[in-house]
Amino acid sequence: MTEADEPIELPRGIALAWGVAANPQRGPKREMSVERIVDAAVELADSEGLAAVSMAAVAKRLGFTPMSLYRYVSAKDDLLLLMQEEATGLPPEEVRDVEGWRAKLEVLYRAQAGIFTRHPWVLSIPITGMPVTPASSAWIEAGLAALEGTGLDADERMAVALLTTGLARWNGLVLAGYAAQSHDTGLTPDEIAVREHALLDAVVSADSHPQLRDAIDSGVIMSERDPFRFGLDRALDGVEAYISRLAEGGERSAPIFTEEDDEGALLADKRYRDARRAVRDAQRALAAARKQERQAAREARERLARKN
């Protein structure tokens, strides 16, 4: 068995999120739990921001020492991961009730933007890679499931799911910023818009910024139209047009990579792209075969155990 065949050891935070981490052998078990620690940390972040969250602050909120917390959550990074998982929650049931891939993605978009509005501190947690937690995986699953049967391949479905999530995050980021400004200044959203309009009106001239000046004069700063929803609609229009193109026998869009200029040049060659695709397909097939091998080994061990 090679090193690649060895079962991967889950980091403590991910194991806690999936409920497969070992429980502490000592500590105030009945009074303390991972769930209580995470709930307290989320409440602290909601009320005072992510900067206020520390192991000491959470322990104080619960009435325990920081060392008591470390028996359950051994690092602050693990705590942040579990907080994000708790705040994210599961996709809404509504996504199952609506018909059509587009309506489903719109439900997911609104729900994700709502998460960032309720828990703006989530936006301060860096994105370090693909989420490997139950709730985050459930959101990706919901996005991929919404696009099932559209004719998009696996890469394209993932790209559209990430597009929807990215637009929701951008919406949440801006709304969270305005909410923070409203909290700090005591101004209402309408009052903030009036102030922004006045500031821009005072400094933007037709000579230096003619297009922006026209936009200001047209009342765009005070407009009630939702620019984020407009962006989502146009993005999904593009996806819909692409799906229609595929249904009519059109070619798929070639993937575009920007890691290195020479890589981009190579990808212009169809034979190279085909070879890259063959490698990815082989890697997926190998992963599936190893999964079947592990399953067969488990079943064989179970049969041997029953015979003994």
pLDDT at 224 over 50: yes
With cut-offs at 50, 70 and 90, classify the pLDDT of residue 198: very high
Task: Determine contact, residues 53/79, Cβ cutoff 8 Å.
Answer: yes
Measured CA angle at 279 (ends 277, 283), to 5 deg? 115
pLDDT at 4 over 60: no
Task: Determine contact, residues 150/101, Cβ cutoff 8 Å.
Answer: yes
In this structure, what DSSP letter does residue 50 have? G
Per the model's pLDDT, the better-predicted residue between 104 and 127 turns out to be 104
The DSSP code sequence of 234-301 is HHHHHHHHHHHHHHTTPPPPPP---S-HHHHHHHTSHHHHHHHHHHHHHHHHHHHHHHHHHHHHHHHH
Residue 262 is predicted with a pLDDT of: 56
Query: Which pTM value belongs to this model?
Result: 0.76
pLDDT tens-digit map of 264-273: 566 667 777 7
Residue 241 is predicted with a pLDDT of: 96
Residue 89 is predicted with a pLDDT of: 93
CATH class of this structure's domain 3-88 = mainly alpha
Over residues 233-255, mean pLDDT? 90
Residue 129 is predicted with a pLDDT of: 79
Has domain 94-186+224-253 been given CATH number 1.10.357.10? Answer: yes
Residue 1 is predicted with a pLDDT of: 45
Least confident segment among 165-169, 212-216, 294-298: 294-298
pLDDT tens-digit map of 24-66: 655 555 567 889 999 999 999 999 999 999 999 999 999 998 8
CA distance linking residue 234 with residue 232, whole number of Å: 6
CA distance linking residue 113 with residue 122, whole number of Å: 11
Range 226-265 burial, b when 16+ CB lie within 10 A, else e: eebeeebeebbeebeebbeebeeeeeeeeeeeeeeeeeee
CA distances from 286 to 92, 157, 291 (A): 34, 22, 9
pLDDT at 108 over 90: yes
CA distance linking residue 119 with residue 17, whole number of Å: 19
Residue 2 is predicted with a pLDDT of: 47
CA distance linking residue 245 with residue 261, whole number of Å: 29
pLDDT at 254 over 80: no
The DSSP code sequence of 111-133 is HHHHHHHH-GGGGGS---SS--S
Question: What tokens appear for 88 in the block?
Answer: 């994210």
Residue 121 is predicted with a pLDDT of: 94
Question: What tokens appear for 142 in the block?
Answer: 């919901």
| pLDDT, averaged across the chain | 86
Domain range list for the chain: 3-88, 94-186+224-253, 189-222, 258-308
Over residues 62-87, mean pLDDT? 90
Task: Determine contact, residues 206/222, Cβ cutoff 8 Å.
Answer: no
Percentage of residues in the chain with pLDDT exceeding 90?
52
Identify the three-state secondary structure at position 42: helix
Least confident segment among 88-102, 127-141, 195-209, 254-268: 254-268
| Range from 15-24, 172-181, 280-289 that averages highest in pLDDT | 172-181
Task: Determine contact, residues 120/169, Cβ cutoff 8 Å.
Answer: no
